[in-house]
Structure 1
Amino acid sequence: MSFQPIWWVIVAGLVLTGVTVALVRADRGAPPREARVAHRWVRLAICLLVVLIGVHPVIGRTSPPKPAPAGADVVVLIDRTTSMGAEDYDGNQPRIAGVASDVAQLVSDHPGARFAVIAMDNDARVEVPFTTDGQAVASYAAAIGWRENPRGTGSDISVGVDQARQLLEASRAERPGAQRLFVYCGDGEQTIDQPPRSFASLAGDLDDALVLGYGTSAGAPMQTYPGSGDYVSYQGSRAVSHLDEATLQAIAAQTGGHYDHRTAPGPLPATELAAGASAAPTEPGRTVEVYWVFALVLAGLLGVETWSGVGRYRRVRAQLADRTPTPHAGRGERA
């Protein structure tokens, strides 16, 4: 048992106790009737119960929570170019549906970690700054969709390298003890007339990296935007997007991570993050409040005191009524 004192309640209880003791001493000269003595003890018990409630006893461990591990920071880079709408994931689902499923799994696998999300299409943007709200990250990935084809300027799968490096550098400055994971989600299809930039500049800040590839080598057509029903065409026929595993494997090698071809929802590859790196802070021990027991007794004694007070009030009224003279009939009349 330990105590969490509420000082103003304790002070109020001690003041009431002092006043009650003073009244008892002043009443010593009164006839020692049993009812009077019991009344004194009830009042004194009420005052002491107020003090006990103010002491606020609790049962159980009340030590502060243990410090949380340094944690993990996860930077997720999502390709949302038009090719991520190609319908060759888990049957005929768009590739971006696989991204949504895997991001939700990633959040589940790393409870308590901080996540940041970069989206890339014509350019790259940090859409979700570092947050521990994994549900918000999963919800964003589920709603991200893909770039409308008429607005495309070509796909550069490395356009988000600078933003990823900035986030990782910020993570290292803010939390040098944290572990860092980079996750790339895309199909590796580079459609601009230059090769993608290297991701090697990220490796120095990483403990591990995952490159998740979506699509098939046979390829599939894609709608111009989610739910449009219109498909991207090229030279009069439906355009087909193909998975480029060689490019994705190169990104994995540059970041010191590993590549995984994602064809359907399922477990993600294990990472090199230490066990517990993304664990949430340890909760403090549970405690049980016991002040309410004293409060129940106090309520009972207050009820006794109230009932006793009502009885005394009635007796006093009765005594006053007996002492009031009644007028004599015919007073003031002549004989």
Structure 2
Amino acid sequence: MAVATDLSTRFALDVQAVDGLRATAKGNGRAGLEAVARQFEALFLNMMLKSMREATPQDGPMDNEQSRMFTAMLDQQLSQGMASRGVGLAEVMVRQLRHALPPDPSGGEGDMQGAGEMDSIPVPPHGARGTGSLPASLPVAPQSIRVARREPPADPGSPPIGAPSAEPRRTQETAASSSWLPPQAMEFQARLMPYARQASAATGIPARFMLGQAALESGWGRREIRGADGAPSHNLFGVKAGSSWKGPVVETMTTEYVDGVPRKSVEKFRAYASYAEAFKDYVQLLSSNPRYAELLSQAARGLDAEGFAQGLQRAGYATDPDYAGKLGRIIRTTPWS
């Protein structure tokens, strides 16, 4: 983990360091998180040193109030130096809390949990509805499922730049239409489109619409909900684990809008064994919850990107007031294979 601030070069009691830390946190979320984690680690080490001092007999001739004050100052400086080299606590905190960071528009992140980089390349509307068959038996999902939004990318109109990956086998027509896509988005489509087509056959909603929503919720797979051990939850749609859910869950920070104001909270989300199971549960959610009856009815008569996005918004799928706009843009401007 990169160290945002070299604590070993600063005086432990420098009050200006607080202003510098505040500026770092406002200007760069990841760097600010790392700096705060280092400070917390230093505080922890200082408490440890203090406990060690208290456990040591201090009845010597040099023991007095002044010596204890200077010893405490020395311990603070020592803890700063030790924290700058790291003892592992700061790294654990960053791994746990980086889910709560907003996407970095500068593209500075490169990991699955904290990335939300979006390329601003304009693309023409394109898409084709896929078909397929869904297995007859679907896992039963409680009707009390709650769905939450996990901070969609700042500019959901284009897919993110990702690391090179193996290009899927496509027809010449498909290759020509999606050759501009970054490898991350191409791999995301190739891996999940078969499941989206199966879900489309069951709901009547075009596969690219559902895949666009999965891309929005997960940052094209780069911000997928993960457990504390880093294991993927395969939860692409931000489905919360209600009280009736008996399966595995993962806890992560999420953003909810209350009266239009974003607020962060730690919530429990469903964890699936595979992406196929996630899409099946998504189909069950739309099919069994009366809130989405109007949306499915419109899908049977024909549905465009705006209609799908606005239908989800009206049904209360997400609390973000601009959710429909973001989802509509990502569906319209992405060439789907």
The structure number with the bigger radius of gyration is: 1
TM range (shorter): under 0.3
After TM superposition, the score normalised by the length of structure 2 is 0.23
> Which has the higher relative contact order, 1 or 2, with Cα contacts under 8 A spaced 6 or more apart?
1
Q: Pick the structure with more helix per residue.
A: 2
Q: TM-score, normalised by structure 1?
A: 0.23
The structure that is strand-richer by fraction is 1
